[in-house]
C-alpha cells in the first residue's frame, strides 16, 4: 500500500475503562499528527461488550474509532485479535501503529509486524518525526543504552511504554467518527482455560503517587513488613525488585522493572535495592527517588535525589514514626 498517513492506536479496555496507556498513546498520536506527521488519529477498540466505550476516545484525541465487539475477542488471544487488527490497519492505512507495552500489546505487536511485513520497536519511550518519518527511541541492554530506530517501510509499529507519554486533557465535546468492524472466521488455535487475577488491595502500583519498593538487600520476606507500613502511611503502593520476586519474597505482580510494572510516581523510595539496570528501566521515570541502602556505591544511591546510607532495619522504624508524626 502507499499513501500511508496518520496514526492508528490499538487501544485497550481495562476494568471497564479505556486504559491509561491508551489515553497516553492518543495524546502522543495527536501531538505527532499535528507536529508534522499529518493525517488522522484513529483508535481500534476490541473486546466483548465494549461498544459503549467508543465515546471515550474522541475527548482523548481520536478522530476515528474502529469498534470490534465480539465474544471471540475476550479474553484476549492473538489468534482472535490479529486478523481483526490487520483488517483495521488496512482500512485506516496509517503511517504509524501504536500499541501498549502491556500483556496484550507486547504479545500482539510482533505478530502484527510480521503479518504486515514491517518492523516494530518494542517498549518505546519517545517518538519524534524527522523528515516526515517516525523515529523511535527505546532502551536496550537492560536500560544501559538507548537506541533510536527508523522504519525501512511503512507502517511503522511501536509499543509504547506505560507512563512515558502525557495524555491530553479530555475535551468533553470532542466527537469522533465511529466505524463498526465485522468480526468472523478467525482460526483460533488457543483456548483460555482460566484466569487468576492478583487481589487488588489499596492503591494500584502503576497509578500510585508514592511507591515504596524493597529488594534483595532486605534479607528476607519479613523485610516487606516495613515496606508495606511506610507505603500505607504515605497512601502509596508497595513494590519489589525482580531479585526479591524471584526469591519468592513478594508476588510477581508487584515487580517493578523491565519485565514487570513500569511506575513513574512523584516519590519512589527504594529500600535495599542496588539498582540493577533492569529495575531502573521500570522506575527511572519517577520524579523523585529516595535510596535507603547500606552501600554508598550502589547504583540506586547515585541516581537518587536523597539517600540514606545505612541499614534499612535501623532506618525504617524511626522513619515510619517520623512520617506518622508529620502526617498527623
> 4 to 23, contacts with another protein by CB under 8 A?
none
In the complex, minimum distance from the CB of residue 6 to another protein, in angstroms, rounded to a whole number: 20
Nearer to another protein, 61 or 214 (CB): 214
DSSP for residue 234: T
Q: What angle do CA 246, 313, 275 make, to 5 degrees?
A: 45
Calpha distance 157→208 (Å, rounded): 29
- Asked if 288 is part of the footprint of another protein (rule: CB under 8 A), the reply reads yes
For another protein, which is the closer residue by CB, 148 or 175?
Answer: 148
Residue 193 CB, shortest distance to another protein, in Å, is 4
Q: According to CB under 8 A, which one of 197, 201, 220, 222 is a site residue for another protein?
A: 197
**234 is a site residue for another protein (CB under 8 A):** yes
Does 90 engage in binding with another protein (CB under 8 A)?
Answer: no
C-alpha cell at 287: 520524579
Residues 257-286 that bind another protein (CB under 8 A): 258-259, 261, 266-267, 277-278, 281
Q: Does residue 32 interact with another protein by CB under 8 A?
A: no
Give the DSSP letter of residue 256.
B
CB 119 within 8 A of CB 60: no
Q: Which stretch binds another protein (CB under 8 A): 53-61, 63-71, 86-94, 136-144?
A: 136-144
The DSSP letter of residue 132 is T
Q: Is there binding between residue 301 and another protein (CB under 8 A)?
A: yes
- Position 225 contacts another protein (CB under 8 A): no
179/309 with CB nearer another protein: 309
Binding mask 151-190 for another protein (x = CB under 8 A): xxx-----------------------------------xx
Nearer to another protein, 34 or 322 (CB): 322
- Would you say 64 or 264 has its CB closer to another protein? 264
Confirm or reject binding of residue 307 to another protein (CB under 8 A): yes
DSSP calls for 28-82: HHHHHIIIII-S-EEEEEEESS-GGGHHHHTTTT-SEEEEEE-GGGSS--HHHHH
Question: Please, what is the minimum distance in Å from the beta carbon of residue 1 to another protein?
Answer: 15
When the beta carbons of 17 and 148 are compared against another protein, the nearer one is: 148
Which residue in this structure is represented by grid cell 528476607?
A: 220
Q: x/- site string to another protein, residues 109 to 128, per CB under 8 A?
A: xxx-xxx-xxxxxxx-----
Task: Classify 144 as helix, strand or coil.
Answer: coil
Q: How far is the CB of 71 from another protein (least distance, A)?
A: 17
195 forms part of the interface with another protein (CB under 8 A): yes
> Which run of H or of E encompasses 282?
helix 277-283
Cross-strand bridge partners of residue 286: none
**Nearest residue to 298 (alpha-carbon basis) of 212, 213, 217:** 217
Identify residues 240-259 at the interface with another protein (CB under 8 A).
242, 245-246, 252-253, 258-259
State how far the Cα of 200 lies from the Cα of 237, in Å rounded to an integer: 11
Q: Is 185 left (phi over 0), alpha (psi -120 to 50) or beta?
A: left
Q: Which helix (H) or strand (E) holds 327?
A: helix 312-327
Counting Cα atoms < 13 Å in the Cβ hemisphere of 263 gives 36
Amino acid at each position: 500500500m502507499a499513501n500511508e498517513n496518520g496514526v492508528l492506536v490499538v487501544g485497550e479496555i481495562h476494568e471497564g475503562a479505556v486504559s491509561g496507556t491508551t489515553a497516553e498513546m492518543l495524546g502522543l498520536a495527536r501531538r505527532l499528527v499535528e507536529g508534522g506527521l499529518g493525517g488522522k488519529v484513529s483508535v481500534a477498540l476490541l473486546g466483548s461488550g465494549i461498544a459503549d466505550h467508543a465515546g471515550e476516545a474522541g475527548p482523548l484525541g481520536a478522530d476515528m474509532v474502529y469498534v470490534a465487539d465480539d465474544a471471540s475477542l475476550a479474553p484476549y488471544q492473538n489468534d482472535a485479535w490479529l486478523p481483526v487488527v490487520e483488517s483495521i490497519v488496512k482500512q485506516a492505512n496509517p503511517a504509524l501503529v501504536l500499541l501498549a507495552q502491556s500483556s496484550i500489546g507486547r504479545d500482539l505487536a510482533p505478530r502484527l509486524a510480521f503479518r504486515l511485513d514491517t518492523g516494530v520497536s518494542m517498549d518505546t519511550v519517545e517518538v519524534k518525526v524527522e523528515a516526515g518519518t517516525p523515529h523511535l527511541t527505546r532502551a536496550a541492554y537492560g536500560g544501559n543504552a538507548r537506541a533510536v530506530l527508523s522504519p525501512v517501510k511503512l507502517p511503522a509499529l511501536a509499543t509504547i511504554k506505560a507512563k512515558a507519554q502525557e495524555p491530553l486533557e479530555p475535551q468533553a465535546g470532542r466527537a469522533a467518527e465511529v466505524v463498526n468492524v465485522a468480526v468472523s472466521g478467525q482460526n483460533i488455535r488457543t483456548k483460555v482455560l482460566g484466569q487468576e487475577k492478583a487481589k487488588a488491595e489499596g492503591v494500584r502500583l502503576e497509578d500510585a503517587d508514592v511507591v515504596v519498593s524493597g529488594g534483595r538487600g532486605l534479607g528476607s520476606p519479613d523485610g516487606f513488613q516495613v515496606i508495606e507500613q511506610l507505603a500505607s502511611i504515605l497512601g502509596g503502593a508497595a513494590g519489589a525488585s525482580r531479585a526479591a520476586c524471584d526469591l519468592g519474597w513478594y508476588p510477581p505482580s508487584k515487580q517493578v522493572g523491565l519485565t514487570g510494572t513500569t511506575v513513574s510516581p512523584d516519590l519512589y523510595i527504594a529500600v535495599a535495592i542496588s539498582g540493577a539496570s533492569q529495575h531502573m528501566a521500570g522506575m527511572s521515570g519517577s520524579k523523585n527517588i529516595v535510596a535507603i541502602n547500606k552501600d554508598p556505591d550502589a547504583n540506586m544511591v547515585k541516581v537518587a535525589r536523597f539517600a540514606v546510607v545505612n541499614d534499612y532495619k535501623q532506618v525504617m522504624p524511626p522513619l515510619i514514626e517520623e512520617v506518622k508524626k508529620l502526617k498527623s
